[in-house]
Amino acid sequence: MKLNEREKRISTRELLDRADERLRLLLTTPLSDLDDRYLCLLPPQAASLARAFTLSSLMQMYESTDGVRSYISFTGEEPTGWIVYRVEAREVVEFDICSFIDGPNPVLMRDAKNILDDLIDLYEVVTFQSLPNNPFKRAYDKIVKHYGGKSWGEAGMIWYQIGNLEEEVSAASFAGEVPEHCSQVITMVEPNTVEEMQNKEIEKL
């Protein structure tokens, strides 16, 4: 099954409409009041705006960004996680997972693996990043180990590559710089977009 068949393409607004009270509260609470697994979804340069973002507004921002696709993971009829990735110039330059429940989420991890399999088939290499304190770092480390991928530290971030890697990836090979094809991740939230989202969210508080 390929991506366009596998992805459950419901919008954030649809997710809010079908969410129970617990999930709705999670989606509409400012990120600054949630634990680090949600706060770490914000790009580093937008971390100071955590009070202005909720998980649902962040998901809506991703939905409106060119090249971004997202997937809602369901356990039965219950939405239990979110997967998002970004393609830039036919390269996957971002991949994030977010669990809506506490504790293990094997269905989300299974869905993440299936999507990664499809992305590798389509694009050969998947590159993504994580903050060192991201609670999902262990999951990302397991993903990289499973695929025989590489990881390295650069610019205060941990970078990962999996797929059909032709040469060894290391921090030294980039001479202290973020790989060019990954730079789009850091600049994904443009200043105007951040300001607009901030104003909308502040009006709701």
- For the chain, 205 residues long, the average pLDDT of each consecutive 10-residue run is 56 90 95 85 75 90 89 90 91 91 91 93 92 83 92 85 70 36 35 45 43
Q: pTM for this one? A: 0.75
Both structure tokens of 44: 């580093």
Give the type of residue at 145: K
